Amino acid sequence: MLKPYEGVGSRGVQIINNKTELIAALNQCEEFQKINPAMSKKFLIQEYIDGNEGYLDFYSMNGKHLLTDSWMYVKQISSGNNLGFYDILLMKKNTLLAKSETYCKKVLDVIGYK
């Protein structure tokens, strides 16, 4: 997977399967930078892992951590090798979310986040 070093979401992210696709993706990133000149000329290359991702937001005060919301990124490959995401707000608690919440609270405690 090739993506701009700076940016947000999936903007400019490309799935790469071979050298030809890598060259095409680099050219597309250069075109993207012409439109957005503030973007860095650096790129990241990382392994693409299929599946959904999630994140949790917390409010912390006096060493107590309150889960405020939880989200899931759903990945979609669209035209060509472009990677897109959309977010889903998770409203219902389940076992995976409960385990993730417990883990995150422990991490916040360990790093001393108050």
Residue ranges covered by each domain of the chain = 2-45, 53-76+85-110
Instruction: Give the pLDDT of residue 58.
Output: 96
Q: Which helix (H) or strand (E) holds 88?
A: strand 82-90
Structure tokens at 43: 């790129």
Q: What percent of the chain has pLDDT over 90?
A: 27
DSSP helix/strand/coil, 12 = coil
pLDDT digits (tens, 9 = 90+) for 14-57: 788 889 988 888 787 777 777 777 666 777 888 888 777 888 99
Instruction: Give the pLDDT of residue 104.
Output: 96
How far apart CA 12 and CA 2 sit, in angstroms, is 8
Instruction: Give the pLDDT of residue 99.
Output: 93
pTM: 0.58
| Residue 9 bridge partners (DSSP) | none
